[in-house]
Amino acid sequence: SMIGDCFYYILPEPVTDKLTIEASVYLESNVDRSLIIFASPLEGSPYGDGPSLYFHNEGSLRYYDTAFRILDVKYPARQWIDVKLELNIPEQYYDIYIDNFDFPVARAPFRNPACTEIQIVGFTVYTHMVQPKPVYVDTLIVY
């Protein structure tokens, strides 16, 4: 497995239709790259073959498909943030909700267009030359 050193949950069976992921996260800093919320097939990438949502430098939220796409919303440091991802696996996209679950802030395509199932959901600490500050996860709900 390529999953390596991250926190993840393996679903009992692969999901090929719709899936929702909810989490509450708290990041000590928004200065250095911090966290990825990801979902992949069983032998998929810890950066996400499906959803690949980054809590990135300077408070920016980004998703990755063929490049980083910056969302029009910032995340604050030292504050709990509620995140929801609604996956449409056959159509290979996910809607991203931050704090307000009534309206998505973006719709993102899957990172890997060959991804047709999800069986791993989790978090990867993301860093590049600078160790990020601590990250806390209070809940992970997958349904």
- pLDDT (tens digit, 0 to 9) for every residue of the chain, 143 residues total? 455 568 899 999 999 999 999 999 998 887 776 788 999 999 888 889 999 999 888 888 999 998 889 998 888 889 999 999 999 999 999 999 999 899 999 999 999 999 999 999 999 887 666 666 788 889 899 99
**φ, ψ at 128 (rounded to 5°):** -145, 95
pTM of the model: 0.91
User: 9-27 burial by CB neighbour count: b if 16+ within 10 A, else e?
Assistant: eeeeeebeeebebbbebeb
How far is Cα 64 from Cα 49, in angstroms, rounded to an integer?
A: 10
